[in-house]
Structure 1
Amino acid sequence: MPSIKYKNKSIHYLINKPKTKDKGNRGLVLIHGSGENLNVWNHQFNELEININLITIDLPSHGNSEYFNPEIISLELYVDVIKKLKNDLNLEGLILGGHSLGGAIAQSYYLSYPEDLLGLILISTGGRLRVSPRILKTIKTDFEQFLDTISIAAFHRNTPDDVINPYIEEISRVNPEIIHRDFEICDNFDILDKVGEINIPCLILVGKADKLTPVKYQRYFDQHIKHSKLTIIDAAGHSVMLEKPSKINGEIESFINKNF
């Protein structure tokens, strides 16, 4: 199981190398959201046809990565982990794709290390991410209720159970304190005044029925990021990469092949 070391702990990742070696050793790194793990990208990891390295990662305390004390988990730490991944794999140019919290990490990485990035893929995210106080409370006081809420909030109403149930099962295995910290990071995230500084190609993807990061969040990106392309996915909610994988993959492939 491939991993890097960060603060003497293992961080799990997966990599698909292109059939034809990429001279620049570039990479598309996909970053999951709150309480998730790299399995949310299975359709992308197994099905995308792109000419660069494709990498998915379990953030600290998620999936098969080692556990970190919630008190030290921060947006800055997550960004630092992606930087360490980039350096350890000797990637010479990054495209960062992020879902929800992962999108906040991708944006923050750009603001810290713009020279590293070739492009961004922002999926179901925003320049500001507010979380309902009720959700923050139920994570700690009634975790089962939280899981029930997410099963409704994160998906379009017509999403089949065989998509929703495995997702909820994965989240149920994560320490609630870590999930709470993830959502706190989202709730405190606000770079609306800096979104216009993003000056690289940016693909923006959102489900038309997204309840957690609604379409207006993505329209803000499209209005303020110079080199952006917004695609709104019909009959999809917050978890578009799971709900409409073929559509998402087509958009990503087109974006990569056109720009890189």
Structure 2
Amino acid sequence: MFAEINGARIFFDVEGKQFVPEGPVMKEKQVCFVVHGGPGCDHGDYCPVLSPLSDYMQLVYIDYRGNGRSERTKKEEYTLDQNVEDIEGLRKYLGLDKIYLLGQSYGGYVGQAYGIRYPENLSGLVLITTACDHSVHEKGIAELEKLGTEEQIQMGKDYLWHGTFPNNEEYDRYYKVFMDLYSYKVRTGEVSREEAEEEIRRGIPSYEAVNQWFGGEQLTFDFREELHTITCPTLVIGGRHDWVAPVSFTYEIADLIPKGKAVVMENSSHSVFTDEPEETLKEIISFILDHEKQKEKGV
């Protein structure tokens, strides 16, 4: 479904009910916005693995403008700031008060930026395999030089690091070439490449969106001095073998957010939902249930 938000048609999908019967009353569940990585991807990767979470929360999956099924507007609008304002616009459009926000990779950047700007609108925040400043760019280059094949290293230089993908076909090919770096279990052979590539085939690529980020804000963003303003409980999940956002960022973000908690998935790279889906989901559900219990106690 679509909503007209800040001059663009933003696609969102909903999983789970907001009100469920509990004895003689209808109990209201919390609403969680799910924002995807990339940019240049869509929300589809998260639907299978996060579906059990809808037993506890109503999930609202969002495609950023210029991504997935959302409207392609001017590429100059594909910015972190615009993503934050579109999320806030959708929250208002849906008539919601406080929400949870779950973001992975680039979605974690969006989550941090939203939490800094609108801390009063968050009940909780889940940040997965993400970073807090532009040093992630140089660290990613260094990790790729260390771990990558010649083809992967060259493709990073040709396309990724400068935001110069020429079309969606090459952007799709990038993920196939890099699959064993994104998934630790593809690297070790525990998950087949074909199984992992199903996610790529399901997705809707947008090379313009990824180019806009990697050729611009990726080189300058920095949340570190403002993360202390995020007041809600925050779960930060990292992958021990993550080359995109090394696990040191997981600890740093959790340290800088007053109610931050770091959890590291020991057998995961960047794609924790491919490598350790059940374990990752268990941590998220535990975090949410613990927080909701604390709220009921008035803590």
Q: Structure 1-normalised TM-score?
A: 0.89
Query: Do 1:11 and 1:60's aligned partners in 2 also have CA atoms closer than 8 Å?
Result: yes
* C-alpha displacement of 1:228: 2.0
2:30 to 23, 26, 31: 26
| Residue identity in the other structure for 1:67 | R
**Does 1:147 pair with 2:152?**
no
Aligned partners of 2:163, 2:73: CA distance in 1, in Å?
A: 22
Q: Structure 2 matches for 1:104-119, cutoff 5 A?
A: 104-119=109-124
Paired residues of 2:163 and 2:210 also in contact (CA < 8 A): no
Deviations 1:79-114 (A, max 9, x none): 011001111111111111111111111111111111
* Counterpart-to-counterpart distance in 2, 1:139 and 1:217: 26
**Match for residue 174 of structure 1 among 198, 205, 220:** 205
CA contact (8 A) 2:163 2:212 kept: no
1:170 deviation in Å? 4.8
Say yes or no: does 1:15 pair with 2:14. yes
- 1:30 maps to a residue whose letter is V
Larger deviation: 231-240 or 14-23? 14-23
Runs (4 or more) in structure 1 with deviation over 6 Å come to none
Q: Does 1:89 align with 2:120?
A: no
Unaligned runs of 5+ in 1: none
2:105 and 2:129 in contact (8 A); partners too: yes
Give the alignment of 1:132-143 within 5 angstroms: 132=141, 134=157, 135-137=160-162, 139-140=164-165, 143=170
The 3 A distance-change label for structure 1 pair 141 and 207 is: same
Aligned residue for 1:207?
239
Which residue, 103, 110, 116 being the options, matches 2:108? 103
Structure 1 vs Structure 2 CA RMSD: 2.3
SS of residue paired to 2:242: coil
Q: Distance in 2 between matches of 1:114 and 1:84?
A: 15
Provide the aligned length of Structure 1 versus Structure 2. 257
TM-score (norm 2): 0.78
Contact 2:6 2:89 in 1 (8 A): no
Contact preservation (8 Å) 1:236, 1:243: yes
Is 1:217–2:232 an aligned residue pair? no
Matched, 1:4 2:41: no
CA contact (8 A) 2:42 2:205 kept: no
Relative to structure 1, the CA distance from residue 160 to residue 187 in structure 2 (aligned partners, 3 Å threshold; closer, same or farther) is farther
The structure number with the bigger radius of gyration is 2
The aligned runs of 1:55-74 (5 Å cut-off) are 55-74=60-79
1:195, 1:224 within 8 Å by CA — same for their partners in 2?
A: yes
Q: Sort the Cα spacing of 1:96 and 1:22 in 2 relative to 1 into closer, same or farther, 3 A.
A: farther
Secondary structure at 2:286's aligned position in 1? helix
Aligned AA (2:31): G
Matched, 1:42 2:41: no
Question: Structure 2, unaligned stretches of length 5 or more?
Answer: 142-155, 293-299
The alpha carbon displacement at 1:115 in A equals 0.7
In the TM superposition, 1:177-188 aligns within 5 A as 177-183=208-214, 184-188=216-220
Cα contact 1:127–1:217 (8 A) shared by 2: yes
Tell me how far 1:187 sits from its aligned partner: 3.3
